[in-house]
Amino acid sequence: MNRLEAAASPYLLQHKDNPVHWWEWSEDAFAEARRSGRPVLLSIGYAACHWCHVMAHESFENHATAALMNELFVNIKVDREERPDIDHVYMSALHSLGEQGGWPLTMFLTADGEPFWGGTYFPPQARYGRPSFSTVLHQIAAIHAQDPQRIAKNAEAIKAALIRSEAATSGEQRYEPDLGEIARQVAQAFDPHHGGLRGAPKFPNPGLVELLWRHGSRTGDQLTLQRATRSLERMARGGIYDHLGGGFARYSVDERWLVPHFEKMLYDNAQLLSLYALEAARSGDTIARTAADGIVAWLAREMLLPEGAFAASLDADSEGVEGKYYVWTARELRDLLPPEDAALFARHYDVTPHGNWEEVTIPNRLETPEPDAAEAAELARIRETLLAIRSQRIPPGRDDKILADWNGLMIAALARAAGLLAKPQWLALAQRAYDFVAESMADGDGLAHSYRAGRLIKPGFALDHAAMIDAALALHDATSEPRYLEHARRWSNHLWRHYRSTETGLLGMTRNDSSSLPVIPRPSHDDAVPNAIGIHASNLLRLAAKTGEANDRSHAESFLDAALAAAARAPMAHGSMLNAYDVARNGVEIVIAGRERGALREAALKLPYTTTIIIEAPDAASLPADHPAAAMIERAGDGAVFVCFAGRCLPPVTEPNRLAAAVLSSAEPAVRSND
């Protein structure tokens, strides 16, 4: 029998009518494997995954294939977004076999959950150099039955590789990265024309773009800044950006950002919103501002759930066809629009008789002319018309589970972008989502990972807590409400107690008392989302500055030391940790004091938040006695800002429009010594 009907995950519910006797991940499933003597077939995917849909249609909906699976295996379905720990462990197992990995992930396990072989997508008939799925099933089941020693040997070797890969290293000496040298290395790996890492497929890699942007904007280094801004510009012009509805697809299959893999993920758009808001505030660039506005418009229109938080993703497919919802033909546009509108849109969005992808058009502005002011106004009207028409199509499926980590990333991005671009409505959107996660997804002193239809998946993972701490700190900067700082400290203490390894000082993905997997996953590198370790290193530095308490300071220092040691062997894979080190190395405290602080706070929120830490101090008692601004607070009068760094503060700034220049002057010594 198929047991997925009661699942909370939309991905699992997509498979509830398969003739496969699916189980959810549970001890009962492994008990059945032990009872029956069958191995486990573990299939991992996610709701927006195109090739997951393909394999489901070809194999899991096929009665003959399903019967074979049911006879030979205990079959377990996992949503990788709901259980990233399971996905990480078994994807790492596949990598240890020399496979590149991807989804759907198909792994074969012993009845104790130990992997012994696996792959990704398997076709129904042998092709693409891959054996047919039925052949794989027969062969694996035969080896399991006839050669148990071979199975045990494989499982033992893979487990040993997993233990080695999850054993985070720590150095005896602190690793002091040269941010300038690393930024230049990253810049050399980026495509000078198209942006992003060279070649195809192309992923946004927001952590590396941020590293380049931080260095270039702080130092004036034109190479690193150009690589960052070029990447942002080309993505925003490309087909990976939805020029009608806003928001970015997960990646581009080509090197030009033209043809997206059309699924849209909350986590990508959260990280890109931060970057586009930073660039729009720095340069006033219209393309960056439009991209930021578009992300939030898409978020509010298509991803906002009744609970106030945000859905996880939108599918790539609609009506069984990838991208169908988003593409147009030239004839269709001529039929829908007045001739002059169709011609104007075609000229500026690359519409040709045979299209730019498989006889259809993906709207883009990669090589099209810049409109003048009058044309831009007309194009805005045309886009609204086409968006309304598109909304009548059958939309892609939406995965409406609420993930604490991805929501935390988006809440922090909204709160900071609201200050950078003077968008108070974005702050309200962030606060509403935050309230739902903090209240309805609470799990004791910590957080659950996923919510859907009243059901929680708990306990949460390290990234759930780290991302929500970052969100709380961003909202504390924006509002000075004490509850946000209280939440940040409580969740931080929870992470320290339950997720931190006493051996390495680093965070594992899961709690230290987790026992359902062959190993506790302890990755330190960034993936599509930043690693919890990198985010939390920055969190602890900001918390320590805000509270001034010795315990917070010692936690921040020891954790950063451990994080940097983990990053030493492959710094370019640890962008979030390097960005945290940037806070430690170049951070500036913005102490806002005096009776009238509102306008000064607004000015502080318009500064690049990457290395600024906002501290509101109405009186001297609000700061630790040893803070360099403590003795100066009484001079704040109606309102003043003290820009503090390296144990000292500049003279008070009383006019909001002078704050940016003061912060820039504080950064100059750090720039000279570090880069």
Q: Averaging pLDDT over each range in 49-53, 431-435, 661-665, which range is the top one?
A: 431-435
Is the distance from CB of 464 to CB of 445 less than 8 angstroms?
no
Q: Of 553, 584, 615, which one is at a domain's C-terminal end? A: 584
Model pLDDT, residue 670? 42
Could you tell me which of 582, 578, 570 has the C-alpha nearest to residue 169? 570
pLDDT at residue 675 tops 80: no
Q: Mapping DSSP to helix (H, G, I), strand (E, B) and coil, where does residue 512 land?
A: coil
Same-domain check for residues 567 and 600: no
Is the distance from CB of 450 to CB of 582 less than 8 angstroms?
no
Same-domain check for residues 629 and 492: no
* In-domain check, residue 23: yes
Question: Could you give the angle at which helices 550-567 and 575-586 cross, rounded to 10 degrees?
Answer: 140
Model pLDDT, residue 99? 84
**What is the token pair recorded at 188?**
């050399």
* In-domain check, residue 627: yes
pLDDT at residue 673 tops 60: no
Q: Give CA 136 to chain center in angstroms.
A: 34
Using 50, 70 and 90 to split pLDDT, how confident is the model at 669?
very low
Residue range 381-403: mean pLDDT, rounded: 97
Same-domain check for residues 68 and 123: yes
**What is the token pair recorded at 461?**
């993972």
Is the distance from CB of 207 to CB of 196 less than 8 angstroms?
no
Q: Mapping DSSP to helix (H, G, I), strand (E, B) and coil, where does residue 242 land?
A: coil
Q: Which domain holds residue 341?
A: 326-392
| pLDDT one-digit tens code per residue, 447-488 | 999 999 999 999 999 999 999 999 999 999 999 999 999 999
Using 50, 70 and 90 to split pLDDT, how confident is the model at 594?
confident
Higher pLDDT among residues 165 and 125, named by residue: 125
CA neighbours within 13 Å on the CB side: how many for 124?
Answer: 13
**Distance from C-alpha of 120 to C-alpha of 43, rounded to nearest angstrom:** 9
pLDDT at residue 141 tops 50: yes
Could you tell me which of 282, 265, 263 has the C-alpha nearest to residue 210? 282
* In-domain check, residue 365: yes
pLDDT at residue 633 tops 70: yes
CA Rg, the chain, in Å? 26
Q: Mapping DSSP to helix (H, G, I), strand (E, B) and coil, where does residue 157 land?
A: helix
Same-domain check for residues 505 and 648: no
**Distance from C-alpha of 252 to C-alpha of 362, rounded to nearest angstrom:** 12
Beta bridge partners of 107: 42, 118
Q: Is the dihedral of CA 137, 97, 158, 566 positive or negative?
A: negative
Residues 6 or more apart from 351 whose CB is under 8 A from it?
Answer: 328, 330, 333, 342, 345, 361, 363
Same-domain check for residues 387 and 335: yes
Same-domain check for residues 78 and 113: yes
Could you tell me which of 20, 24, 3, 40 has the C-alpha nearest to residue 518? 40
> What is the chain's mean pLDDT, rounded?
93
CA dihedral 330, 336, 338, 344 (to 10 degrees): -40
| pLDDT one-digit tens code per residue, 274-323 | 999 999 999 999 999 999 999 999 999 999 999 999 999 999 999 989 99
Q: E strands, 549-666, where?
A: 588-593, 612-617, 640-645, 648-649
Q: Is 350 left (phi over 0), alpha (psi -120 to 50) or beta?
A: left
* In-domain check, residue 218: no
Q: Of 373, 392, 411, which one is at a domain's C-terminal end? A: 392
Same-domain check for residues 458 and 571: yes
Same-domain check for residues 470 and 606: no
Tell me: cis bond preceding 201? Omega within 30 of 0 counts. Answer: yes
Same-domain check for residues 592 and 574: no
* In-domain check, residue 82: yes
| pLDDT one-digit tens code per residue, 161-216 | 888 877 655 555 678 899 999 999 999 999 999 999 999 999 999 999 999 999 99
Q: Mapping DSSP to helix (H, G, I), strand (E, B) and coil, where does residue 125 land?
A: coil
- Count how many domains the chain has: 4
Residue range 563-586: mean pLDDT, rounded: 92
Using 50, 70 and 90 to split pLDDT, how confident is the model at 674?
very low
Residue range 538-543: mean pLDDT, rounded: 96
Residue 101 exposed, middle or buried by CB count within 10 Å (0-12, 13-18, 19+): middle
Model pLDDT, residue 671? 45
Question: Could you give the angle at which helices 206-219 and 575-586 cross, rounded to 10 degrees?
Answer: 30
| pLDDT one-digit tens code per residue, 67-116 | 999 999 999 999 999 999 999 999 999 998 888 888 999 999 999 999 99
Task: Indicate the helix (H) or strand (E) that contains 137.
Answer: helix 133-146
Q: Mapping DSSP to helix (H, G, I), strand (E, B) and coil, where does residue 506 land?
A: coil
* In-domain check, residue 626: yes
Task: Indicate the helix (H) or strand (E) that contains 9.
Answer: none
Q: Is the pTM of this model over 0.85?
A: yes
Q: How far, in Å, are 302, 402, 406, 440, 535 from residue 308 at the CA level?
A: 12, 10, 14, 11, 24
Same-domain check for residues 533 and 652: no
Q: Is the dihedral of CA 233, 239, 240, 245 positive or negative?
A: positive
The label of the residue with tokens 């009058």 reads 374
Model pLDDT, residue 170? 52
* DSSP line for 82-109: T-HHHHHHHHHHHHHTT----SSEEEEE
Q: Of 166, 184, 211, which one is at a domain's C-terminal end? A: 166
pLDDT > 90: percent of the chain: 83
Using 50, 70 and 90 to split pLDDT, how confident is the model at 667?
low
Same-domain check for residues 386 and 425: no
Residue 125 exposed, middle or buried by CB count within 10 Å (0-12, 13-18, 19+): exposed
* In-domain check, residue 254: no
Q: Phi/psi of residue 105, each to 5°?
A: -95, 125
Neighbours of 503 (CB within 10 A): 9
Could you tell me which of 224, 273, 286, 282 has the C-alpha nearest to residue 608? 282
**Distance from C-alpha of 53 to C-alpha of 261, rounded to nearest angstrom:** 14
Overall size of the chain counted in residues: 675
Question: Could you give the angle at which helices 266-283 and 286-298 cross, rounded to 10 degrees?
Answer: 150
* In-domain check, residue 470: yes
Same-domain check for residues 614 and 532: no
